[in-house]
Amino acid sequence: MLLINCPYCGPRAQSEFTYGGDASLHRPAPDASMDDWFAYVYLRDNPKGAHVELWQHSAGCRSWIKVRRDTRTHDILESP
Amino acid sequence: MTYSIFSLARHALSGHKRWPLAFRSPAPAKAYDAVIVGGGGHGLATAYYLAKRHGVRKVAVLEKGYIGGGNTGRNTTIVRSNYHLDANAHFYEHSLKLWEGLGRELNFNVMYSARGVLNLVHTPAEMDAAMRRGNAMRLNGIDAQFLSHDEIARRIPNLDCSPDARFPILGGLLQPRGGTVRHDAVAWGYARAADALGVDIVQACEVTGIRVDGGAVSGVETTRGFVATPRLAFAVAGHSSVLAAMAGITLPIETHVLQAMVSDPVKPVLDTVVTSGAVHFYVSQSDKGELVMGGDLDFMNSYAQRGNLPIVEHVAAACLSLFPSFGRLSLMRTWGGICDMTMDGSPIIAKLPVQGLYMTGGWCYGGFKATPASGWLLAHTIAHDAPHELNAAFTLERFAQGRMIDEKGAGPIPWMH
C-alpha cells in the first residue's frame, strides 16, 4: 500500500485517497483547436517510469495533491 | 505430430520419455513477411491465422520473455460474449464460437468448459439493465437467460440468497455457453500449431526500436539484432503505449494493474462462474480446486504487475458477502497483470497511422476471452491491409471521430471502465 504525504495531514494510507489521474495535462483555451482538445481529453503519454499524477485526500482534508510516482515500482519520488 | 489416444498410448509404453518438443525455439532470421510483437495468446493466434487462413508463412513472433508469460498466464480464464453494444456483441460472439471449436482446430486440449457465466442482480435498476442487455444479446443471436432468485438459490447452494444478505440477490443474467478455458494451453496450443505451419516463435527477444522509412515500416530493432519486415503488428496489451511511442504514436490508453487471487484448493463447490457488478467481484473454481477471484483495478497507473492490499481486502470482503462459507478458506496466492485501459473501454484492432503498422490492444481487463477473434481479425487486417467487418468499428480514429464504443457509459476516464 502506498504511503502518501498530504501537506496538511501528514503521511496517510493510500486507502484515504482517490486517484485523479495524469497531472501533466493542461486544459486548452476554450477557442483552442479540435486537435488540442482531442489530445487533452483522450491522449496520454502513459509513461513506464516517472508519472506525475493527482490524488485527492477524499477521506481527510479533501485537498488535491500532485505526486510523482514510478509506475514500474510504485515508489513515490516526489510529493508536496 | 498429431496428439491422439494412439500417440498417448504409444508414449505411455515408453514411459513418456520420448515426447518431442511442441515447438522450435529458433533465432530470428534477417527478414520476414510479417512480424508480430508479443508472444501471448493474441500474438500467437495472429501468427497462426496469418499462416493458416491467409497463406503468409514467413512470419515471426517476437517475445521479450517466454511465451504465455505475460497476461495470458495471469488472467482468470473466463470466456463469454454477454455484451450489449452491437460491435462488441458480434466481436465477442465470433470469439466464443472460435473457442467452442478451438481444441479440435489446434489439436490441443484447451479445456473449454461451458459452465455458464452468471451476472447477479441486486437492485431493481440492475434488473432493468440485465433484462435490456439480455434482450439485446438474444436479438444478436447470443444465448442469454434470466434466472429468478429461486432458480439461482437452487443452482448455487453456497451462494447467500437469503433476504438478510448484505446485498440481497433478486435474480441474474446467465450466458450458458460462457465458461472457462485453460489459459496456458491457449498459448501452448497456438504456438505449437503456428510452429507447425512454419512460424518462427522467437523468445527472449525484446523489441527496442521501430524503423520507419518514408512513412512505412521497414523493420524492428531487437535485443537479438535487426529484423526487416514490411508488416509489423503489436499484440502487447499493457505495453501498447510503449511500443507505439517507438513509432511516434501516442495512444488513448493508460496502463493499470488488475489483481487476481486464488484460495487453497478444495473439492468441487462451485460449478459455474459467478459475477456481481454491484460488489465488484467474480469467482469460479479451477480444475485444481482453487477458487479463482478478482475485482476492480487498483485505480492508479502501473506497469508493476503487482497491486496493493486494499483491493485484495475488498475482493475478499465481497466474496464473503456472497459466499459466507468461503470464509473457512485462505488465500493462497495473489498476483497482478497490467492492462491497456482505453478511453471507451473497448479494444483497438486496427491499422495504425504508419504504413505497414497494425495493433491489437486496449483490451482493458477483458483480453483473454477475445484471444481467438483478436488474432483472427488482426491476421485478416494485416493480410488485406484493411479491417474485416467484425473489427471495422475498433479503430484508433474512433476517439477523434466521436464513434466511441462505451459499453458502460463511463466516459474518457480509463480506470473507470
Nearest CA in chain B to A13: B310
Predicted local distance difference test score (pLDDT) of residue B1: 81
The Cα angle at residue A46 between residues A20 and B245, in degrees rounded to 5: 160
Domain boundaries of chain A, sorted by first residue = 3-78
Question: Would you tell me the crossing angle of helices B371-384 and B86-106 to the nearest 10 degrees?
Answer: 100
What are the pLDDT digits (tens) for A11-50? 999 999 999 999 999 999 999 999 999 999 999 999 999 9
Query: What 8-state DSSP symbol labels residue B179?
Result: E
Chain A nearest-CA distance from B339, in A, is 12
Enumerate the residues of chain B whose CB falls inside 8 A of the CB of residue A42: 252, 343, 399-400, 412
pTM of the predicted model over 0.95 = yes
The closest CB to that of A46, out of B241, B309, B413, belongs to B241
B226: closest CA among B56, B38, B25, B32? B32
Q: What average pLDDT does range A65-77 have in this prediction?
A: 97
Which are the contacts of A30, defined by CB distance < 8 A and separation ≥ 6?
none
**CB A53 to CB B301 under 8 A?**
yes
- The pLDDT profile of chain B, 417 residues, written as one tens digit per residue, is 899 999 999 999 999 999 999 999 999 999 999 999 999 999 999 999 999 999 998 999 999 999 999 999 999 999 999 999 999 999 999 999 999 999 999 999 999 999 999 999 999 999 999 999 999 999 999 999 999 999 999 999 999 999 999 999 999 999 999 999 999 999 999 999 999 999 999 999 999 999 999 999 999 999 999 999 999 999 999 999 999 999 999 999 999 999 999 999 999 999 999 999 999 999 999 999 999 999 999 999 999 999 999 999 999 999 999 999 999 999 999 999 999 999 999 999 999 999 999 999 999 999 999 999 999 999 999 999 999 999 999 999 999 999 999 999 999 999 999
**Residue B281 CA: distances (Å) to CA of B135, B276, B292, B392:** 24, 5, 11, 32
Give the three cell numbers for residue B67: 511465451
Which are the contacts of B406, defined by CB distance < 8 A and separation ≥ 6?
B344, B345, B346, B417
**Residue A74 CA: distances (Å) to CA of A41, B172, B299, B338, B358:** 25, 38, 12, 13, 31
d(CA B161, CA B360): 41
**CB B399 to CB A42 under 8 A?**
yes
Q: Delimit the CATH 3.50.50.60 region(s) of chain B.
A: 29-77+183-252+344-416
**Residue B282 CA: distances (Å) to CA of B5, B11, B128, B291, B311:** 36, 40, 21, 10, 13
A56: closest CA among A21, A24, A27, A10? A21
Tell me what percent of the residues of chain A surpass a pLDDT of 70.
Answer: 100
Enumerate the residues of chain B whose CB falls inside 8 A of the CB of residue A53: 300-301
Predicted local distance difference test score (pLDDT) of residue B28: 98
Residue holding cell 485484495? B312
Give the three cell numbers for residue A72: 514500474
Nearest CA in chain A to B256: A71
Alpha helical stretches, state H, B107-123: none
Mean pLDDT estimate for chain B: 97
Architecture of the domain delimited by B29-77+183-252+344-416: 3-Layer(bba) Sandwich (3.50)
Q: Which CATH superfamily is domain B112-179+256-335 in?
A: D-Amino Acid Oxidase, subunit A, domain 2 (3.30.9.10)
Would you say how long chain A is, in residues?
A: 80
* Interface list for A 25-54 with B (CB within 8 A): 34, 38-39, 41-46, 48, 51, 53
**CB A45 to CB B241 under 8 A?**
yes
Enumerate the residues of chain A whose CB falls inside 8 A of the CB of residue B252: 42-44
Name the 3-class secondary structure at A51.
strand
pLDDT band at residue A80 using 50, 70 and 90 as cut-offs: confident
Predicted local distance difference test score (pLDDT) of residue B237: 93
**Residue B113 CA: distances (Å) to CA of B25, B272, B292, B355:** 31, 9, 15, 40
A14: closest CA among B338, B299, B61? B299
Among A15, A44, A75, the residue to mutate for chain B (most B Cβ within 10 A):
A44
Taking each continuous run of H as one helix and of E as one strand, the counts in chain B are 10, 19
Q: Delimit the CATH 3.30.9.10 region(s) of chain B.
A: 112-179+256-335
**CB B303 to CB A48 under 8 A?**
yes
* Dihedral sign of CA atoms B301, B306, B310, B314 in order: positive
The closest CB to that of A1, out of B252, B304, B309, belongs to B309
A3-78 carries CATH number 3.30.2270.10: yes
Quick check: B407 and B84 in contact, CB under 8 A?
A: yes
Neighbours of B300 (CB within 10 A): 25
ipTM exceeding 0.95, yes/no = yes
Predicted local distance difference test score (pLDDT) of residue B285: 98
Chain B nearest-CA distance from A59, in A, is 15
Nearest CA in chain B to A39: B252
Q: In what order do the strands lie in the sheet with B207-213?
A: B207-213, B216-222, B225-228
Enumerate the residues of chain A whose CB falls inside 8 A of the CB of residue B397: none
d(CA A11, CA B1): 61
d(CA B160, CA B268): 18
Predicted local distance difference test score (pLDDT) of residue B85: 97
Name the 3-class secondary structure at B253.
strand
Chain A nearest-CA distance from B361, in A, is 14
Amino acid at B106: L
